[in-house]
């Protein structure tokens, strides 16, 4: 099983690792990785794996059978190779800010309306959140975003801890989520704002988000509402 470095340190941009397996000349597993695999609405990281001076671009990262697989753009990596890996930090940092903003907005909407979160898709430029709300309007959504921005400006710390699954899953605001056979869950605590299990990547302080900008709302039918947002650069 791959040691997952981003669970404890989301700011790790480069690391050394050993190639554990190579499938079809392009799917690489490593003994440890900081590359985030596509999961929970957060896109995968991209970047480079370097071996003997040759750079292999990481074009996709996914999780299969508890292993994180890195798809590279060319052949050449072999089992046992010692490699140096570099995450595309510009992309990852945008997604970390988006992801943490989504936690705050999610929490504010839940507190204000009682709605539960049913899905999300984060992007580098624009993200969306889905809720099981019966009704809402633009003005209400704008007021939730204003409230979320007031919280962001308080420069709250974002803390990582690990808890037994039974205890951690009670904190979740997700309508449903399959935690599989995990015994311990990673819990993200945005001081006084939101506390819930999450395996994604987050910033250390809410001030790094700067500001959430309302984009649009979409009515996806009865009890299904969608909000799109951006972040200030």
List of residues contacting Zn ion (CB under 5 A): 198, 200
Q: What is the number of the residue whose Cβ is closest to Zn ion? A: 198
Our CB check for Zn ion shows the closer of 85 and 106 to be 106
Distance in angstroms (rounded) separating the CA atoms of residues 73 and 59: 7
Distance in angstroms (rounded) separating the CA atoms of residues 51 and 132: 48
Our CB check for Zn ion shows the closer of 71 and 191 to be 191
Residue 196 CB, shortest distance to Zn ion, in Å, is: 8
Residue 96 CB, shortest distance to Zn ion, in Å, is: 9
Run of H or E residues at 86 = strand 82-87
Distance in angstroms (rounded) separating the CA atoms of residues 16 and 34: 10
Region of 181 (left: φ > 0; alpha: ψ -120 to 50; beta: rest) is alpha
For residue 129, the tally of other CB atoms under 10 A from its CB is 22
Residue 206 CB, shortest distance to Zn ion, in Å, is: 13
Residue 102 CB, shortest distance to Zn ion, in Å, is: 7
Our CB check for Zn ion shows the closer of 29 and 120 to be 120
The answer to whether residues 174 and 84 touch, using CB atoms and an 8 Å cutoff, is no
Task: Record the tokens describing residue 12, joined without a space.
Answer: 């790790």
Our CB check for Zn ion shows the closer of 55 and 191 to be 191
CA distances 92 to 28, 165, 182, 197, Å, are 20, 27, 25, 20
Residue 172 CB, shortest distance to Zn ion, in Å, is: 11
Our CB check for Zn ion shows the closer of 28 and 190 to be 190
What are residue 89's phi and psi, to 5 degrees?
-70, -35
């Amino acid at each position: 099983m791959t040691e997952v470095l981003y669970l404890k340190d989301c700011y790790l941009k480069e690391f050394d690792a050993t190639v554990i397996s190579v499938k079809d000349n392009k799917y690489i597993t490593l003994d440890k990785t900081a590359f985030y695999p596509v999961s929970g609405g957060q896109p995968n990281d991209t970047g480079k794996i370097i071996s003997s001076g040759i750079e292999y671009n990481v074009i996709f990262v996914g999780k299969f059978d508890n292993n994180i697989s890195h798809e590279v753009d060319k052949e050449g990596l072999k089992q046992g190779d010692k490699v140096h890996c570099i995450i595309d930090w510009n992309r990852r940092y945008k997604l970390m800010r988006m992801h943490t903003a989504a936690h705050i907005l999610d929490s504010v909407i839940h507190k204000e309306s009682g709605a539960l979160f049913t899905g999300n898709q984060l992007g580098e430029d624009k993200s969306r959140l889905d809720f099981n709300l019966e009704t809402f309007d633009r003005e209400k959504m704008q007021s939730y975003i204003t409230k979320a921005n007031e919280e962001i400006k308080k420069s709250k710390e974002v803390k990582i801890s690990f808890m037994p699954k039974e205890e951690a899953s009670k904190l979740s605001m997700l309508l449903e989520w399959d935690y599989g056979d995990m015994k311990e869950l990673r819990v993200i605590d945005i001081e006084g704002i939101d506390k819930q299990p999450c395996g994604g990547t987050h910033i250390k302080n809410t001030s790094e988000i700067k500001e959430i900008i309302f984009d649009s709302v979409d009515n996806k039918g009865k009890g299904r509402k969608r909000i799109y947002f951006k972040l200030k650069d």
